[in-house]
Amino acid sequence: MKILVTGKNGQVGHCLVKLLEAQTELEYLALEREQLDITNKSQVNKIVNEFKPNIIVNAAAYTAVDKAEQEPELANAINRDGPLNLALAANNVNAAIIHISTDYVFDGKGLESYTESAVTSPQSQYGRSKLAGEHAVVQACNKHIILRTAWVFGEHGNNFVKTMLRLAKTRTTLGVVADQFGGPTYAGDIASAILKISKQIISDSHNYGIYHFSGFPHVSWYAFSKKIFEIALEQKLLTQSVQVNPISTLDYPTLAKRPANSRLSCDKINNDFGIKQSDWQDALARIKEYL
């Protein structure tokens, strides 16, 4: 099996490369943006035609949610046109594509966990660009896996956990949004899910389609932050506790509208691939590695 990975320096890409390094039965090529600009169709075609992967994993994305409101063209180029280029190239060499998407494709107004068949209605430019990318991949390559996830964090890159730990060094009191709910998802678990899916679809082509993968239990950002500080204090990464105060979304205005409900149902991925939800509390137990 040959796997091509884009966005190798992102949170998921970084973890996936570490996993692939330990796999002796496969060959992989992992590239960063400077090595492969997915918005450049001719460059994508050249690399894919030369490497001839069995699977392309697109971990490259424009993820600056608020900035996307001011840079819609760039967000669309990376999140829509890039995946289209990769999907077309994959189709040309009869490869499958695994494309990472997001909870932002939903409006977040529902009260239950979103299933893969739930109606999409993104409320931000970021969400619209990611949904457009999903549609492009589905239309361009029949052998596709769309993997929607949410609230990604890990040891590498920028994320909520690292932000909280950084703020705790200079602040003793913080206000954190308490009316947005979701499942924090460890990037390493996303990478593991991708590798497991890759190995299965190589031999069984019946499970292509859209899947959700995120963490459990579902919590608010407020509850998530409290757990971060609790574990950091237990492991003596903090010398004093941080007072976390619950605030509403209205108290913390942002350019892009965030989904109030980012809960994703992960029953389908468990049934089809035997992949259980990310245990974010277990991942936080290794909090020293996030510094």
Domain range spanning residue 104? 2-158+184-217+263-280
Identify the pLDDT of residue 204: 77
> Does 271 score more than 80 pLDDT?
yes
What percent helix, strand, coil does the chain show, rounded to 5? 45, 20, 35
Distance CA 250, CA 127 (A): 20
Alpha helices in 77-156, H assignment, sequence order: 82-92, 125-140
- Show the tokens assigned to 168: 């705790």
Cβ atoms of 13 and 28 within 8 Å: the answer is: no
Assigned domain for 170 exists: no
Count of structural domains, the chain: 1
Read off the pLDDT of each residue in 201-214 and give the average, rounded to a whole number. Answer: 91
How confident is the model over 155-184, as pLDDT tens digits?
999 999 999 999 999 999 999 999 999 999
Catalytic residue among 28, 126, 186, 208: 126
211 catalytic? Reply is: no
pLDDT > 90? residue 206: no
Q: 173 lies in a domain?
A: no
pLDDT beyond 80 at 86: yes
The pair phi, psi for residue 28, each rounded to 5°, is -135, 155
Is residue 140 assigned to a domain? yes
What does the alpha-carbon distance between residue 30 and residue 131 come to, in Å, rounded to a whole number?
25
Q: What angle do CA 265, 83, 10 make, to 5 degrees?
A: 70
Give 61's pLDDT tier (boundaries 50, 70, 90).
very high
* β partners of residue 248: none
Say if 231 falls within a structural domain: no
Paired sense of beta strands 185-186 and 173-177, if any? unpaired
Helix (H, G, I), strand (E, B) or coil at 170: coil
What per-residue confidence (pLDDT) applies to 203? Answer: 85
Question: Is position 70 within any domain?
Answer: yes
Enter the pTM of the model: 0.97
**Does a structural domain hold residue 188?**
yes
Tell me, what CATH number does 14's domain have? 3.40.50.720
The DSSP call for residue 264 is: B
Q: Is residue 115 part of a domain?
A: yes
Over residues 8-13, the mean pLDDT reads 97
d(CA 3, CA 277): 24
Helix (H, G, I), strand (E, B) or coil at 253: coil
Strands lying side by side in the sheet with 261-262? 219-220, 181-182, 261-262
Task: Report how far residue 238's alpha carbon sits from residue 286's, in angstroms, rounded to the nearest whole number.
Answer: 14
pLDDT, one tens digit per residue, over 123-162 is: 999 999 999 999 999 999 999 999 999 999 999 999 999 9
Q: 127: helix, coil or strand? A: helix
Phi, psi at 174, each rounded to 5°: -140, 145
Q: In sequence order, what E strands does 219-290 have?
A: 219-220, 243-247, 261-262, 278-279
- Asked if residue 252 belongs to a domain, the reply is no
Residue 291 banded pLDDT, cuts 50, 70, 90? confident
